[in-house]
Structure 1
Amino acid sequence: MAPPTFTTFDSLYAHLTTTYSYPVLASQSPNPYSKALSHSIASLSLHPTLESLLHILNGDLSSAHFLCRHMQNSPAWEGMYIHGLLHRVEGDYRNAEAWYGNVAETECFQHAWGGEHGLEDAKAFIRRIERLRKEKVGSLKELEAESKREVDALVDWCKRKFGTGKMEDASQAWVEPSEEHRKIASKMLVGGEGWRQF
């Protein structure tokens, strides 16, 4: 039986969010939930923020990371926020907190975490996930509900800002990396500092 075909962002988003749980704990597998869906996601030619969010929901963290690495400096605040979300999903909690801190004052982050304590609330959420993972303390159901709220808010923001139509040339969304990220990437390429440290 052939996998279903998805031709719009909304149909694919609805499928992913009703088939799989919203991301909380790191997956035990480095593979996406569905390789066919990874292809479907890429074939939509969406704005890279929306494409990376769909990849995260499909458990295809490598594809999401590739896209985020091209959007990790201002003014690509949404990409930077998604980069933090991606690290949260991977279980790299300090890195997630750092990325969240970098975007805490932006409209996209405030849309998801609003209020004067948005960053503190987001970091508390990350620490609750970490506690569930490491100490088995907490409610997965409650954390999934909070993850759903965060992801849905970020998707809503990106849909309103970028639309869900085709973006044939995604390089229009890329930004130049900061000097700090260039140095880290250089060390990663030669193997000196390990894997995925930015």
Structure 2
Amino acid sequence: MNYDEFIFSIEKDSIVPDKLNVHLQALWYDATGDWQTAHGLIDHLEDRTSAHVHAYLHRVEGDLWNARYWYNRAKQPEYKGDLKDEWVQLVKMLL
């Protein structure tokens, strides 16, 4: 799946595509406004990629202290830009 197909799936589908990994599933749900499901997919995972997505999700929530904690766990710098830009970068990185 490429980026355009991913965006199309958000705009046209009501069910997350089954071929997406858990990180992309979380970002898909976040884009549909379902933060709880997105967070629920990620919050129990320990790998660095999950921590990176987790950090982004806490930025969305507005919990910057928690986001910083997860950026640190991901060994990533804290993202200071627009949330939409970070979402796009994460999706493109994971595709």
Shorter-chain TM-score: which interval? 0.7 to 0.9
TM-score (norm 1): 0.41
SS at match of 1:88: helix
Q: Is the 8 A contact 2:26 2:41 kept in 1?
A: yes
Rounded Cα–Cα distance in structure 2 between residues aligned with 1:54 and 1:69: 15
Give me the identity figure in percent.
30
Count of aligned pairs between the two proteins: 90
Two-structure CA RMSD over aligned residues (Å): 2.2
Deviation for aligned residue 1:93: 1.2
TM-score (norm 2): 0.79
Determine which of 73, 83, 91 is the counterpart of 1:147: 83
* Structure 1 stretches of at least 4 aligned residues deviating more than 6 Å after TM superposition: none
Matched to 1:9, the amino acid is F
Query: Deviation digits for residues 152-190 of structure 1, max 9, x if unmatched?
Result: 11111111xxxxxxxxxxxxxxxxxxxxxxxxxxxxxxx
Rounded Cα–Cα distance in structure 1 between residues aligned with 2:38 and 2:68: 18
Deviation for aligned residue 1:59: 1.3
SS at match of 2:33: coil
Matched to 1:79, the amino acid is S
Rounded Cα–Cα distance in structure 2 between residues aligned with 1:70 and 1:89: 18
What are structure 1's unaligned runs of at least 5 residues?
1-7, 17-35, 110-118, 126-142, 160-198
What are structure 2's unaligned runs of at least 5 residues?
none
Which structure has more helix as a fraction of its residues? 2
